[in-house]
Structure 1
Amino acid sequence: MALRSVLTGVGSHLPQRILTNAELAKRVDTSDEWIVERTGIRQRHIAADGERTSDLACGAGVQALQSAGRDAKDIDLIIVATTTPDLTFPATAARVQAELGVVNGAAFDLQAVCSGFIFALATADNFLARGQAKAALVIGAETFSRIMDWEDRGTCVLFGDGAGAVVLEAREERSDRGVISTFLRTDGRMHDLLYVDGGPSQTQSVGKVRMIGNAVFRQAVEHISGAMLEACARAGVALDEVDWFVPHQANQRILDGVARKLGIDVDKVVSTVALHGNTSAASVPLALDVASRDGRIKKGDLVLMEALGGGLTWGAALVRM
């Protein structure tokens, strides 16, 4: 019987500090009405001084382990999807491994910006399905506030900080539980639509987020829709068989646009964007945790996760909980 990667636990962690639209309006030329109308975002969480991406990742990881009924000794693979690592090196995942007390296997970071968690989930699935690991902790964690230009209202209103995590375990399942299909794509020709204008090799600096918003919106609706359809087609599953859609929480207009394009019932789309903003690689597992803890997503449900990020990168993952 073939091994399957089964999602056994989910968790999340948010910084305590909340930054509302009204507070942002005191710093930049904007208003609560302007932000809500164009993005659906009402607030976002911001990491405190000294609070690192690894701190958020560890918080989410602990919750996911508790949810799965596992502890550090059971984990032999950690993948942290992040664009905002603690340091250039070593990997944030290495710090998470040490902080959580994991002593087995490998730990590394993965960089696909807002699509990072989907790419990390697919990567972990391949390790587990090939028998190269037994249990993986897959984390999306970001402190995007560290790379924001707080004078650019086109970007600073969008992003927040946070982390989400899942535990994946290799099992010989007789049912169809677990990761059923994944679909990943990158098109580097669209690099300039969404990027950070700094880095150790090119500018010897961290840099700030730069984005051509309208162009990213168009690409997001088209490519996210295509990724969702492809993930379902690879699994032989019709879109209307999916119980819950958990998208990257970039902008409520993108969520609504994809739903309209594919004829999806909006009541089946998990949206946390109003409370969290765009937390990049953290947004999908963070939304998954919210919907799992409030009882919407249950064991046996068919869940389709999807995202698009800088690169451009995009992808989808179909999972039976």
Structure 2
Amino acid sequence: MPGTRIAALGHHQPSRVMTNADLAQLVETDDAWIRQRTGIVTRKIAEQDESVTDMAASAGGKALAASGLAPEDIGLVIVATCSAMDRCPSVAAQVAARLQVPGAVCFDLNNGCAGFTTALASAAHTLKAGAARHALIIGAEKMSDVTDWTDRSTCVLLGDGAGAALISTTTSEHEGIGPVVWGSDPQRGASVRLQGAWQPRFAQDGQAVYRWATSELPAIAQDACTRAGISTRDLAAVVTHQANLRIIEALTRRLDLCDSAVIAKDVVESGNTSAASVPLALSKLIERDEVPSGAPVLLFSFGGGLSWAGQVVTCP
């Protein structure tokens, strides 16, 4: 079977910046309270007429352009999202139409905050099976549509945005997208919720999520490296779900990383963008040349479900 690799990345963020001071006008909170508990300073909020599809198409278009491929080369489009209001046609199908991708298989995938890495693994498996040669994988969220702006424990966390990866098959013996480690603990799924037929609102048991993420997930992240045949000390960067800076710091401390490893902390300026957070953070690291081409990077996301998915990839 052929190998797979990430060929190009792209991202999109709304222009509107919401600061902690802005949030203090909406709910009883302040900058110090938010920074101490979450590490977040700003987040990007989409305008009312900017949809998940708009952001996904923008990020996907940038990844497609950076890859040098033509729209007709793409055989699969997956959009990972839990906040899209459109059900049919899928966001993926709408993105394909906007980017003039003809005839691709298009579908949305909802695995909460673990959606992008789940979609990335699913696409890699599809390409290895020979069903397509190139795939466009996008994580896109408009979490501001599902935010309870009266709940200071959650509204301070969330932001909007999209990140995309163009993945391709390769004849190289080197595997650019490593084996996935994924799973779920549905018995504790209610710890992160986005439920309701009309105007659903994001809610979570923050303490339960923190304990789970910091105590149980490091070993799973370690397993992703083991399956890829490398040590955590070989990693050039780690891009986890940008849930909360305190979770990121606690989780990565337990991975025995080398001092030079870059740890993505995009949550500070972008907030928690759910399924968009990993590709958004990765794309920005590469745009700033913080990770060299060819270097191993651990992608690891987790959240609603409770679910997780992670793999080591080669930086494009």
- Whether the 8 Å contact between 2:234 and 2:258 is mirrored in structure 1 is no
Q: Match of 1:64? A: 63
Aligned counterparts of 1:222 and 1:130: Cα–Cα separation in 2: 35
Q: Any gaps of 5 or more consecutive residues in structure 1?
A: 200-204
Aligned counterparts of 2:291 and 2:216: Cα–Cα separation in 1: 25
- Whether the 8 Å contact between 1:76 and 1:136 is mirrored in structure 2 is yes
Counterpart mapping for 1:113-152 below 5 A: 113-152=112-151
Offset from partner CA, 1:205-234 (integer Å, 9 cap, x none) = 131011110100111123431221111121
Aligned equivalent of 1:254, options 247, 251, 256? 247
Aligned counterparts of 1:146 and 1:7: Cα–Cα separation in 2: 30
Q: Match of 1:202? A: none
Counterpart mapping for 1:1-321 below 5 A: 2-174=1-173, 176-199=174-197, 205-265=198-258, 267-321=261-315
Segment drifting more, 253-262 vs 47-56: 253-262
2:161 alignment partner AA: G
How far off its partner does 1:238 sit? Answer: 1.1
How far off its partner does 1:105 sit? Answer: 2.1
SS in 2 for 1:28: coil
How far off its partner does 1:265 sit? Answer: 4.7
- Whether the 8 Å contact between 2:5 and 2:176 is mirrored in structure 1 is yes
Aligned counterparts of 2:138 and 2:85: Cα–Cα separation in 1: 14
2:31 alignment partner AA: D
Aligned counterparts of 1:304 and 1:149: Cα–Cα separation in 2: 32
Q: Any gaps of 5 or more consecutive residues in structure 2?
A: none
Aligned counterparts of 1:40 and 1:273: Cα–Cα separation in 2: 8
The two structures have a TM-score, normalised by structure 1, of: 0.95
> Which 4+ runs in 1 deviate beyond 4 A?
none
How far off its partner does 1:162 sit? Answer: 0.1
2:75 alignment partner AA: D
Offset from partner CA, 1:171-228 (integer Å, 9 cap, x none) = 1113x251022111111101211102313xxxxx131011110100111123431221
Aligned counterparts of 2:240 and 2:32: Cα–Cα separation in 1: 24
Aligned counterparts of 1:116 and 1:301: Cα–Cα separation in 2: 23
How far off its partner does 1:71 sit? Answer: 2.8
2:248 alignment partner AA: L
SS in 2 for 1:5: strand
SS in 2 for 1:113: coil
Aligned counterparts of 1:159 and 1:196: Cα–Cα separation in 2: 13
SS in 2 for 1:237: coil
The two structures have a TM-score, normalised by structure 2, of: 0.96
Aligned counterparts of 2:163 and 2:85: Cα–Cα separation in 1: 17
Q: Percent identity?
A: 39
Aligned counterparts of 2:36 and 2:279: Cα–Cα separation in 1: 25
Segment drifting more, 64-73 vs 138-147: 64-73
- Whether the 8 Å contact between 1:227 and 1:306 is mirrored in structure 2 is no
User: RMSD in angstroms over aligned alpha carbons?
Assistant: 1.2
SS in 1 for 2:5: strand
